[in-house]
Structure formats: C-alpha cells, structure tokens
Structure 1
C-alpha cells in the first residue's frame, strides 16, 4: 500500500492535528521520499516509518512536537541534517538497518540537542574501529547508543515501565482473593447450602425413578397374589370334587 493512502487510512476520520502517534510501517514511499505527511501534523509525538524504502528525508514536514522517530530498515545514507531542522525536539532516533557508513553521516545529528537515544544497529558504521567511543564523542548529548550507555548499562524499557504502572493502577483483586472465594463456594455447597438447578433436576429425576420402581414392584406383587389366589381356588375346587366322588362311592 502506498504511504500516502496508508496515512489517510490511519487518520480514521481525525484531523492531522489530532494525531499523536502514526505508524506506516511496510508501506511504499514514492521515489524514496516521504509522502502524505504535511505540516498539519502539529501534534505528532511518535512516528514510525519502518521498511518503507526511504532514501531521503528532504520532504519530511516540520514536526515540532515529535519525540520518537523510527526509521529502521530503509535506504538512508545522508540528508540527516533535515532532522534537526524539522524535528528539533527528538529524544529517540532509530536508524538501524540503513546505509550509514561514516561518522560524517551522523555528524549532522549534533544539532539535535535533546537526542538521548540513537540506534545504528546493522549499519556499516558499526564495523568502524572505536565506533562507540567515536559516536559518543561526536554526539555528547546521546546517553544510549544501540540500547546501551558508555558503561554498557542497558537503556530502560519505557514501554515495560508503562505496562507495570498500568498493572498497578488498574489491576483488580489478586489471585488469592479468587481462590478464597472458590473455597468458600465449595464449602457452602458441601455443607448443605443452596443447590443449583442442575442438582434439583437430578434429584427430581431420581425421585421419579424411585416412584416408578415402587409402582412396578406393587404390580408384580399384585400379579403374584392373583396367581396364588387362583391356584388356591383351583386346589379347593379339586378337593371338593374328590369328596363328592367318595360320597358317591
């Protein structure tokens, strides 16, 4: 998808001035230039243009509030002086995976006075001797290079910190609370508390089965009694006939 079209979709019926974060990763730039961005994006603080085929930043509009800029996996080798002109308040810049080969390429970032974190991972410049020391010396305002400071202390993960804060502020009751509730519900059920509809239905079906069994037993007993009564009657009749025969004799 073309970058210009992607940006129009990302607006989602908002005006450009209302947009604070904009991600157009993996879209296609025309002729390696930024397109679709205008100076109307006055409130933009985070912009991500990863793998969009950029080879120049010459058409980047003024973005006075921009703090974080993701430009990894493009074809940039120069024109970085545009950043200090158009985005003077940048604090984080990711240029990893670009065609930056010499220290002179990043020298233009000296005017980004607020820049704290710079990423040049997978750029040819990282193969230079004393690469880290040279970049820190050239850009003294930078605290973290490729995710580490000069003493190789890792940069804090701001996104993870935000998630932790959200968890503390918006978290519900702990797991222990849920377990106690479940135990209480189990105890109530086992001690003869209110039973659910499923149990009541099963109990009713059981009672119906018992009634049917009792009725069947009664029928069997009555049938047996009737057979016995008929047999006794036949026996009595037979005895009476025998007595009559003897009297005739």
Structure 2
C-alpha cells in the first residue's frame, strides 16, 4: 500500500487536527512524501519496516513524543530532519538502521526533551565507549537501548507494582468494611435476640398470672390434698372422742 493511500484511509472524514496517532503498518515507502506538511496534534507515529531511505516529506510534528523508525535504511545524514520537525520528541526508536558514528547523532540535539533512544542493530553500537559517549552527548537522556547510564534495565513493572499495592490496600479496606458490617449485624442480631427473649419471658409471666389455669394447677397441688386429709383425720378423731364420752356416761347411768 502506498503511503498517501494509507494516510487517506487513516484520516477518513476527520480534520487533520483530530488525528493523534499514525500507524503506517504494511506501507512500503522510501520517504514520507505524500503526507500533509503539518500534523499538529499527532503524538505517536509507527513507521517501522517501511523501507525508508530518507526522511523527505516528514511533516511538521510539534506535539510528537514517540517516533518509531526501526527496521529501515536510514543513515546519520538524515537525522537532522527529526530534530527540526519534532521539537517535543521524547522517545525515538532507530533500531535496525545504518547509523555509523556518534557525530551524526548531534543532529538530534534540537529534540531537547529526548529521554529514550534505541540504536541497537546499527553499526554505531560497535564504536568504543558507545554508551558513555551517547549519554555524554545527551545529558537528559534516561535510557539508551533499554538501559540507563548505570546499565539498569527499564523497570516497566513499577507502575504495575503500584497498581497491585493499591489493589491490595483497597481489598484490605473492603475486608475491614465487611468485617465491621458482619460484626454490627451480629451485634444487632444478639440485641434483637435478647430483646425477643425478654419479651417472651415477660409475656409468659403475665399470662401465667392472668390465666385461671394457675389457680387450677394450685388447687390440684399436693399441699391442698395433704391439708384436706389432715382436716378429715382431725374431724374423725373429734367424732370418735365424743362417741367414747357418750358411751361412758351411758354406762355409768345404767350402773
């Protein structure tokens, strides 16, 4: 696919100011001719493996911060266009090109915000003290070929670790809230149960006092039976004593 055709496909009916990314995958081109003179809002361009031999036709890209030009045929002689057209550039991938010497990189000094530069698979990496020389040329450069000036690799897991920690804290917070809710529910349940027990006891007590069965139960109790038996026995003994006294008087009168 030609570069111009690819861009028209990407743009569609949008205005140029509405385009923020430019992915030129599957395009074959020797340069950037066919693109507009300026893409004011584009921040990312992928132009890897196009077969680029120069950067002619590269638009003015005032907000571009990421440019991938890897796997092309670019030499150091064309790098000045990057510095001129991309003043806000932060990440530049030039892996797999034909950049030979350190001096050719000076053309990138106009990209004063450059923080990440990739030059692997270029002849320049065979230059003595290559890494030291590049970091000396770009004091603000943070990473070269994926490593910082102390040969420490880019830690892409830092943000992931922070996210994981935040997630754990949130989970712990959720657990605490659940425990509090469960505790409160349990306490409420106990209070309700205790209240129900008290109400049941009170209801039983009142019904016990008001019910006629209480009296019926008391009337049938053993105490009343024993008392009745005692009274009956007493009356019987009194009657027997009276009868004996009458008999004695009658006997004396007969005598």
Question: Is TM > 0.5 for Structure 1 vs Structure 2?
Answer: yes
- Aligned partner (choices 37, 58, 63) of residue 35 of structure 2: 37
| Match in the other structure for 2:147 | 148
Unmatched tracts of structure 1, length 5 or more:
174-249
**1:92-107 matches, cutoff 5 A:** 92-107=91-106
Which one is further off, 60-69 or 9-18?
9-18
Please tell me whether the aligned partners of residues 120 and 126 of structure 1 are also in contact (alpha carbons under 8 angstroms). yes
Q: Is the 8 A contact 1:26 1:50 kept in 2?
A: no
Identify the residue that residue 50 of structure 2 maps to in structure 1: 52
Counterpart secondary structure, 1:47: strand
Question: In 2, distance between residues paired with 1:138 and 1:50?
Answer: 25
Give the drift of 1:39: 3.2
| Residue in 1 that maps onto 2:84 | 85
Aligned residues of 1:71 and 1:93 also touching (Cα < 8 A)? yes
User: In the comparison of the two structures, how many residue pairs are matched?
Assistant: 170
CA deviations over 1:48-95 (Å, ceiling 9, x no partner): 100111111132111100000000000100211111111100000000
Return the offset for 1:154: 1.7
Whole-angstrom distance in 2 between the partners of 1:74 and 1:156: 27
Q: Deviations over 1:221-249 (max 9, x none)?
A: xxxxxxxxxxxxxxxxxxxxxxxxxxxxx
Please state how far the C-alpha of 1:40 moved relative to its aligned partner.
4.2
Deviation for aligned residue 1:7: 1.3
The residue that corresponds to 1:19 in the other structure is: 19
Residue 125 of structure 2: aligned partner: 126
Q: CA RMSD in A?
A: 2.8
Q: Contact 2:34–2:57 at 8 Å: present in 1 too?
A: no
Aligned pair 1:136/2:162, yes or no? no
Give the TM-score of the pair, scaled to structure 1: 0.61
Question: What residue ranges of structure 2 are gaps of 5+ in the alignment?
Answer: 172-255
What is the TM-score when the length of structure 2 is the normalising length? 0.60
Distance in 1, Cα, partners of 2:106 & 2:129: 16
Contact 1:84 1:109 (8 Å CA) reproduced: yes
Flag the structure with larger Rg: 2
- Residues 37 and 57 in structure 2, CA contact (< 8 A), matched pair in contact too: no
User: Structure 1 residues 36-45 or 146-155, which shifts more?
Assistant: 36-45
Structure 2 contact 26–50 (Cα < 8 Å) conserved: yes
Q: Deviations over 1:85-129 (max 9, x none)?
A: 111000000000000011122121122110000000111111111
**Is contact 1:18-1:41 (8 Å) kept?**
no
Q: Which runs of 4+ in 1 moved over 4 A?
A: none
Measure, in 2, the Cα distance between the counterparts of 1:79 and 1:118.
Answer: 16
Contact 1:109-1:139 at 8 Å conserved across structures: no
Query: Matched residues in 1 for 2:110 and 2:78: separation?
Result: 13
User: Secondary structure of the residue that 2:70 maps to in structure 1?
Assistant: coil
Aligned partner of residue 111 in structure 1, secondary structure: coil
Q: Structure 1 residues 22, 148: CA separation in 2 closer, same or farther (over 3 Å shift)?
A: same
- Mapped to 2, the partners of 1:92 and 1:157 lie a distance apart of 15
Distance 1:122 1:26 in 2: 22
The Cα shift of 1:146 comes to: 0.3
Q: What is the DSSP-based 3-state SS (H/G/I as helix, E as strand, rest coil) of the residue aligned with 2:103?
A: helix
